[in-house]
Each structure stands twice: as structure tokens, then as C-alpha cells.
């Protein structure tokens, strides 16, 4: 939490810190990453994890290193690769030697490896058991070593609901079974299967378990171990204290998280690593099956429409039907007489064709009822086509953030409003709070009685900052409570997709010294004249970005706007009750000789104020006239920006800028 890394313009760094994409980009093709375990050496963190090779489709053990408290990770490579699937790389130290005990149940053994050149070279030390144990760990407790694991191979064993314990005087064995084995053989939702490294807190041992009820790896559960002896074992579930994200598929762990490793550092602080997924287990297969079913249904609907419209005379070729009297080969006839199944198929095909004829009689396209039926069937077919396309090409439905230099980050969303626009605000908060990178929403309340926080449907913290004066300058007031460097200034009447917002944030992270936004303007002429976006596109350039939808550096932008140099400009904003965004553009331009604005083209945007009747600038001509006056006044104060111009370009990633 609150780890900053200036090099990649991530303020602060956000989860996830390692993805299958970042592993693949490092040259190690991966379909997914899971089961993370930490190994701490001084100030260096090593992260061992399962990575499924996207070429061999087999699980290997990867390793990454961090020297900045986990803010960034360098992929070191594959630490262990066997001829069978590997996962759950439990790494621990014993007598100054580093061991790894990964799951390799496909081999039917529990193997222990020792590092010969940490962290990338390992040697088989010993086969601990000839049992296909899954998700096993070893821990020393009360002078004895304990091995926890699950064996799903036994008759009557409930998968993901079984747990066994073994004990020994050494982690190298030999291991003896606990007298109460199996400790659990229960429902898979109760956390019997291990879900990470056990830990000690205030002298009490805690075990992490997996809840696989709704889907595999749905969530982790924590159990306090009350009794652990050779003859008895008792544990009780306690609260994890983990606040789940409510962003659904837009959260990196919105659907499931099934592994946790927490460790206490020498400083006394704690560090934890967890895996997560946006979608339930088997989502890809489910979407494929649903897409195929939708496609099959569309085919059936096309045939039915063809029958009703007379374009299709029969559903099945006539020579397949039992009542067909046409010519067929003698060989085929002899085969059909001796084959009962063929006879049944021919009779079924005949019934289908008779059903088609009956359907044409009952539903006549030239009647109003027939037309209504045709319209409904057609609408259902169109809906099924969209469903099929979405399943095959629509992805998992998430609007994911875009990494920059391998890191993710978060921003604060800030909007300014008043009581007459509460309807806009409610819809605004509900939509944008679910975008992946939004950390907090700040509502600058300029006039009237502010709403209660309970009136707003938000999945991130919302802070309402009530102002004493109704001033547009409040938008850029210094706010020490904002915890992110990036702030998205976004009017409460603008609705656009979370994906557009995420793209804009990614561009800002590449140019954090600029105003990066979605509404460009070109200021030119003598005298300077304010015009709309069409003028900028016609002249193929822009030199201003409206801050009604723009990313800025909160520290830089607010300090410039609230500084003594900007006082005359702020007074003019209060006089006209307009032009605060124009002033900020002038302040940026006055502080730099290079480019100060960057444009990102949104896929679409809707002005919701037109539906509520609470639009601020109803008279466009008067609004533009006031802004033209502002341009002339600001040019006298801070110098003209008319000579600057950035051209619209088409980026490789398809973004217009």
C-alpha cells in the first residue's frame, strides 16, 4: 500500500504486480500465473510462482526479484521445469540451506529440491512420499515438523475437501501419518485444501485454506490452529480482514483469489502476496460452449424463417426420408433393411419435413399475426448472433487497465457539482467507481445541501468536499488528502467507457508533465477566438485540452493554479464564472517551451446534462464569446498560446492523439 515508483510514473503502484503478460514479455511464454510464494533475503524479495507455459501447456516454476519493496519485479526465468506439471512452489530455509517442495501430483510423488545456485538452479534432494499430495507445506511447531497436504487419489475422497497431516523430527523425513488422518474429507467450500504458507502471529499458528465452492479457487479462508499434536488437531476459522473489491471483472481479483503468503520482515512489518483472477474457473470453455450453442440456434432460426417464407421446401433432403419413393441404389436399400438405426433416422427425418409443412400452414406470413411471429423470430436470431460474436470475440467482459513499463497505478477522480445536478452525480459515481484504476472519487460541492454518502452507489471511497464559495476555481484547489499523483478532472455530465478512461490514464503516465484529455481545441486568429472541436479537426491540430475531461499532475497543476502568479487569472474566472480550464492551459504553456497538452480520442461520450435539464452552458454563442474574451485577457497576462500547435496523429495502438 502506498508504494511509489517515480521511474515508471506510477504514483502509487497498484496490483497486480506480476501477470502472465509481464512474464511473457520477459521471454517466458505464459498462459497464467498463480500460487505465489515469497523468499526474503535482506532487502531483496524473491517471488516463486506457478506459470503455465503457453507452448507446452505445462506448469513450470518461475521466479522474479524485487529490490524496491515489491513496486517492480524483474523476471529471472524458470527455476524448475520437469516433464510433468508443477505448481505450489513452497520455498523454505532449513539449516542455512534453501529448499523447494512444489506440487507434482501428476508424477505421483512429493519431491523436495535443494538450491545449488539460488534462485535458478535446483537439485532433487529427496522423494519425501510416494503419494500424489497436492498443495503441501512443511512447518516447525512445538519442536516437531508437520507436513500438511491433500491426497485426492483415494476412493471416496472429496476433491478439494480433503486434508492430511504428517509429522517428523526432520523436514527430510521419515514422515508418519497423523492418527486422525484424514483430518478432513468434507465439502470443497470449507477450506480443507491448503491455500498458501501458514504463519505465526503473536505466537499463534494460522493455516490458509481454499474455498472452492462456487468455482475452483473462489477465495481463501484463515484458520487459527488451537491444537496440533500427534494425536489431535483442532482449528477454528477467523476473519481474514481482507476487503474484497466490488468492481467485478474490472478488478484483477474480482472473481477469485485462492492463495496467500504473508511473512513478517526483520523490520517488524508484514508483507503479503496473493494471486487473483477476473473470471471464474472455466470461463473460456463456458464462453466457447455458449457461442457454439448460440450459433447452432441461429442456424435453426434461419432454417425456420426459410420454411415460413417458402425459400426452404424441406428441412431434410427427401431421399433421407422414410416416405421417399424416388430411386435409390440397391446396395443402399439392402443396408437400410438390415440396419434398424438407419430406419429410425429416416423416419425421424420424415417427421421433421412433415412438421415444416404443418408450420407453414399454421403461420402465414401474409397475416398480421404471421408477420409478428416472423419479427419475433428475427429479433431472437439477431440477439443470438450478437451473443455468439460476443462469446467468440468479446473477451472476458472486463475493461482492464493498461500497464506502463510493467506497472499499474491508480488515480483520483475529481468532479465539481451542486444540488441541481444530483441525478447526474449518482449515475456518474455508480459508473466510474467501477473502473479498474479509480482509487477514490472526490466531489467538490459548490452549492446547496450535499448528499449523504449512502445516497451514492460507489465501490470506492467517496469524499464530498463542501466549499464555502460557489467558484469554478474550487476545481483546482490544493487538496492534501488526495493520495495519488494523477487526478482525472471529469465533469459530472460526461459519460464514457472505462476503457477510454484507462487509455487516457496510460497516455498521461507516458507524459505526466502534460494535460492529457479527451476534448481538444485550437486557439488561433487575430484577435484570438474560441471555437469548438470541429474547427481543430478541420485545421488538423490543437493547442488546448479542456479540463472537463483531462488527467493532470495534482501537485503541479494545483500549485500552479493556486500560486500568486495565477491570482489575476482566478479573479477573472470568478468575474465571468467561466474559463477555469482555459486558465490552467495558459499556466501550463507559460511554464514550458515544449508540448503541454496531449489528446486521446474517446470511443464515445454522452452529455447527460441534456437529459436532466441542468446544463451549465445552454447558450453556446454567449459561452464562446465569454471564452474569447478570456483568451485575450489571459494572453495579456501570460503570453499567447496561438503560436503552438500539436497535430492529430494515428498511433500504432489505434489511439488518435
Residues belonging to the active site? 581
Cα–Cα distance for residue pair 127/578, rounded to 1 Å: 75
Helix (H, G, I), strand (E, B) or coil at 294: helix
89: how many CB neighbours lie within 10 A of its CB? Answer: 26
Please report the beta strands in 249-379, taking only residues with DSSP state E, as ranges in sequence order: 260-264, 270-274
Cα–Cα distance for residue pair 580/557, rounded to 1 Å: 12
389: how many CB neighbours lie within 10 A of its CB? Answer: 13
Which residues, 6+ apart, have CB-to-CB distance to 260 below 8 Å?
195, 196, 197, 208, 220, 272, 273, 274
Task: Name which of 210, 241, 268, 195 is nearest 36 in CA terms.
Answer: 195
Helix (H, G, I), strand (E, B) or coil at 12: coil
- Dihedral pair phi/psi, residue 471, rounded to 5°: -135, 140
Helix (H, G, I), strand (E, B) or coil at 124: strand
Q: What share of the chain is helix, strand, coil (3-state, %, to 5)?
A: 30, 30, 40
The alpha carbon dihedral of 213, 215, 221, 227 has a sign of positive
Q: What is the DSSP string of 176-230?
A: EE-TT-SSEE--GGG--SB-B--EEETTEEEEEEEE-SSSTT-EEEEEEEEEESS
- For residue 270, count CB atoms less than 10 angstroms from its CB and return exposed for 0-12, middle for 13-18, buried for 19 or more: exposed
Cα–Cα distance for residue pair 250/571, rounded to 1 Å: 42
Cα–Cα distance for residue pair 530/524, rounded to 1 Å: 8
The alpha carbon dihedral of 421, 423, 427, 433 has a sign of positive
Cα–Cα distance for residue pair 230/183, rounded to 1 Å: 12
**DSSP run (H or E) holding 620:** helix 620-638
Cα–Cα distance for residue pair 165/621, rounded to 1 Å: 78
- Dihedral pair phi/psi, residue 293, rounded to 5°: -65, -40
Which residues, 6+ apart, have CB-to-CB distance to 85 below 8 Å?
58, 59, 104, 106
Is 150 within 8 Å of 193 (Cβ atoms)? yes
Is 410 within 8 Å of 16 (Cβ atoms)? no
**DSSP run (H or E) holding 99:** strand 97-103
Is 189 within 8 Å of 211 (Cβ atoms)? yes
Task: Name which of 559, 518, 441, 486 is nearest 8 in CA terms.
Answer: 486
Amino acid at each position: 500500500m502506498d508504494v511509489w515508483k517515480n521511474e515508471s510514473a506510477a504514483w502509487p503502484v497498484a496490483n497486480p504486480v506480476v501477470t502472465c503478460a509481464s512474464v511473457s514479455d520477459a521471454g517466458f511464454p505464459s498462459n497464467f500465473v498463480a500460487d505465489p510464494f515469497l523468499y526474503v533475503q535482506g532487502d531483496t524479495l524473491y517471488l516463486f510462482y506457478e506459470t503455465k507455459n503457453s507452448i507446452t501447456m505445462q506448469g513450470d516454476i518461475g521466479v522474479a526479484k524485487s529490490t524496491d519493496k515489491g513496486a517492480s519485479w524483474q523476471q529471472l526465468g524458470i527455476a524448475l521445469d520437469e516433464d510433468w506439471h508443477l505448481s505450489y512452489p513452497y520455498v523454505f530455509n532449513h539449516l542455512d540451506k534453501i529448499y523447494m517442495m512444489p506440487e507434482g501430483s501428476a508424477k505421483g510423488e512429493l519431491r523436495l529440491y535443494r538450491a545449488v545456485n539460488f534462485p535458478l538452479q535446483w537439485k532433487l534432494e529427496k522423494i519425501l512420499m510416494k503419494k500424489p499430495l497436492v498443495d503441501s507445506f512443511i512447518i516447525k511447531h512445538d519442536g516437531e515438523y508437520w507436513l500438511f497436504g491433500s491426497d485426492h487419489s483415494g476412493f471416496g475422497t472429496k476433491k478439494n475437501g480433503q486434508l492430511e497431516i504428517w509429522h517428523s523430527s526432520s523436514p527430510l523425513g521419515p514422515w508418519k501419518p497423523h492418527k486422525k488422518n484424514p483430518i478432513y474429507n468434507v465439502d470443497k467450500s470449507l477450506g480443507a485444501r491448503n491455500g498458501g504458507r501458514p504463519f505465526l502471529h503473536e505466537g499463534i499458528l494460522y493455516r490458509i485454506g481454499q474455498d472452492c465452492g462456487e468455482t475452483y479457487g473462489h477465495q481463501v479462508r484463515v484458520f487459527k490452529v488451537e491444537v496440533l499434536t500427534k494425536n489431535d488437531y483442532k482449528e477454528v476459522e477467523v476473519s481474514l480482514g481482507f476487503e474484497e473489491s466490488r468492481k467485478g471483472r474490472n478488478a484483477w481479483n474480482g472473481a477469485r483469489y485462492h492463495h496467500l503468503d504473508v511473512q513478517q520482515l526483520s523490520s517488524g512489518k508484514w508483507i503479503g502476496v496473493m494471486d487473483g483472477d477476473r473470471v471464474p474457473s472455466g470461463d473460456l470453455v463456458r464462453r466457447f460452449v455458449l457461442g457454439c450453442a448460440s450459433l447452432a440456434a441461429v442456424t435453426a432460426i434461419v432454417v425456420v424463417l426459410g420454411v415460413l417464407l417458402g425459400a426452404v421446401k424441406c428441412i431434410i433432403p427427401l431421399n433421407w426420408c422414410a416416405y421417399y419413393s424416388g430411386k435409390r441404389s440397391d446396395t443402399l436399400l439392402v443396408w437400410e433393411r438390415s440396419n434398424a438405426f438407419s430406419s429410425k433416422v429416416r423416419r425421424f427425418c420424415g417427421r421433421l419435413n412433415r412438421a415444416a409443412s404443418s408450420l407453414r400452414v399454421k403461420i402465414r406470413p401474409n397475416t398480421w399475426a404471421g408477420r409478428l411471429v416472423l419479427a419475433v423470430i428475427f429479433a431472437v436470431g439477431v440477439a443470438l448472433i450478437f451473443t455468439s460474436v460476443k462469446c467468440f470475440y468479446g473477451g472476458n467482459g472486463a475493461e482492464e487497465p493498461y500497464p506502463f513499463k510493467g506497472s499499474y497505478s491508480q488515480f483520483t477522480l475529481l468532479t465539481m457539482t451542486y444540488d441541481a445536478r444530483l441525478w447526474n452525480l449518482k449515475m456518474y459515481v455508480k459508473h466510474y467507481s467501477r473502473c479498474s484504476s479509480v482509487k477514490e472519487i472526490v466531489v467538490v460541492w459548490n452549492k446547496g445541501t450535499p448528499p449523504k454518502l449512502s445516497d451514492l452507489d460507489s465501490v470506492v471511497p467517496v469524499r464530498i468536499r463542501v466549499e464555502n464559495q460557489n467558484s469554478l476555481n474550487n476545481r483546482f484547489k490544493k487538496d492534501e488528502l488526495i493520495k495519488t499523483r494523477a487526478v482525472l478532472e471529469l465533469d459530472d455530465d460526461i459519460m464514457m467507457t472505462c476503457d477510454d478512461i484507462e487509455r487516457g490514464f496510460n497516455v498521461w503516465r507516458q507524459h505526466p508533465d502534460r494535460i492529457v484529455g479527451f476534448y481538444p481545441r485550437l486557439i488561433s486568429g487575430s484577435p484570438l477566438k474560441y471555437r469548438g472541436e470541429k474547427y481543430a479537426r478541420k485545421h488538423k491540430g490543437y493547442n488546448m485540452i479542456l479540463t472537463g475531461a483531462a488527467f493532470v499532475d495534482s501537485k503541479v497543476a494545483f500549485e500552479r493554479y493556486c500560486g500568486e502568479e495565477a491570482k489575476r487569472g482566478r479573479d477573472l474566472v470568478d468575474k465571468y464564472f467561466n474559463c477555469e480550464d482555459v486558465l490552467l492551459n495558459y499556466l501550463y504553456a507559460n511554464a514550458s517551451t515544449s508540448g503541454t497538452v496531449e489528446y486521446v480520442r474517446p470511443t464515445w461520450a454522452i452529455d447527460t446534462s441534456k437529459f436532466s435539464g441542468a446544463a451549465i452552458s445552454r447558450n453556446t454563442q454567449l459561452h464562446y464569446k465569454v471564452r474569447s474574451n478570456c483568451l485575450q485577457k489571459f494572453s495579456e497576462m501570460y503570453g499567447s498560446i496561438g503560436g503552438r500547435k500539436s497535430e492529430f496523429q494515428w498511433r500504432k495502438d489505434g489511439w488518435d492523439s
